[in-house]
Amino acid sequence: MAISSGIKTIQLREKLLSKKDIYKEALAIRALTLRRNVTFIVNDYIDIALAVDADGVHLGQDDMPVKEARKIIGRGKIIGVSTHSLRQALDAEASGADYIGFGPIFKTRTKDAGEPKGIISLKKLGEQVNIPIAAIGGITYNNAREVLNNGADAIAVASGILSGDIKENIKRFLAMTHS
Cα–Cα dist 96/85, whole Å: 17
| Predicted local confidence at residue 110, as pLDDT | 59
Catalytic residue among 19, 111, 145, 171: 111
d(CA 9, CA 33): 9
Residue 12 CA to residue 45 CA, distance in Å, equals 10
pLDDT of residue 28: 97
Which is the catalytic residue, given 30, 70, 77, 82? 82
Region 124-149 average pLDDT: 95
- In the residue annotation, 82 being an active-site residue is answered as yes
Residue 50 has pLDDT above 90, yes or no: yes
Q: Report the C-alpha gap between 16 and 127 in whole angstroms.
A: 36
- pLDDT, mean of residues 143-172: 92
Q: Which of 13, 24, 123, 124 is catalytic?
A: 13
Residue 30 annotated as catalytic: no
Contacts of 6 (CB under 8 A, 6+ apart): 170, 171, 174
On average, the pLDDT of the chain sits at: 93
Query: Which pTM value belongs to this model?
Result: 0.92
Question: Rounded to whole angstroms, how far apart are CA atoms 80 and 102?
Answer: 10
Positive or negative torsion for Cα 7, 11, 17, 22:
positive
* Terminal-residue alpha carbon distance, the chain: 23
pLDDT band (50, 70, 90) for residue 75: very high
Residue 5 a catalytic site member: no
Percent of the chain with pLDDT over 70: 96
pLDDT, average across residues 39-64: 97
Helical packing angle, 141-148 and 118-128, nearest 10°: 30
Q: Where are the domains of the chain?
A: 57-177
Superfamily of domain covering 57-177: Aldolase class I (3.20.20.70)
The per-residue pLDDT for range 26-37, each reduced to its tens digit, is 999 999 999 999
User: Which amino acid belongs to residue 76?
Assistant: G
